[in-house]
Amino acid sequence: MSTQKATFGAGCFWQVEELFRTVPGVISATSGYLGGNKENPTYRDVCNDDTGHAEVVEVEYDPSVVSYDTLLDLFWNNHNPTTLNRQGPDIGTQYRSAIFFYSPEQEIMARASKAKMDASGKFKKPIVTEITPASTFWKAEDYHQKYLFKRGMTHCHV
């Protein structure tokens, strides 16, 4: 089986991880940090909002079962991509809406899906989601992994 990666930032990673973790074809969904300037950041580092990292979920998936487009649709439809550096009560650059791509094809697909979503009229404000190349993914501390699942909160909506 050949797998691919997709990484999304859509606010607090706990809910985003739970959303993707249960999708058929997703092998793993891992909470972590990406897009910043500090090696091996901790949750405390990222929450101080001075490392440049976003809270993200790295999704490893089987493209023969679930498409990147399907993952993009889940991303767009489960958070507010029009609020800059904020999702609900969570405020800071670490909560920004972001798609980190791993190939030119993913970049093209992400930009096309953003344009399509912007043109759809679903959102009253312009989409502010950043689309940038993936850099080093830093796995979050173990207590963040499957956080909602471990607490029996598997029916949460982002």
Q: Can 12 be counted among the known catalytic residues?
A: yes
What residues does 86 pair with on adjacent strands? 91
Distance CA 120, CA 5 (A): 27
Strands 130-133 and 97-101: parallel
Question: 6, 10, 12, 140: which is the annotated catalytic residue?
Answer: 12
Whether 36 and 21 have beta carbons less than 8 Å apart is answered as no
Task: Enter the tokens of residue 43.
Answer: 């949750």
The sign of the CA dihedral 66, 13, 135, 28 is negative
Residues acting as catalytic residues: 12
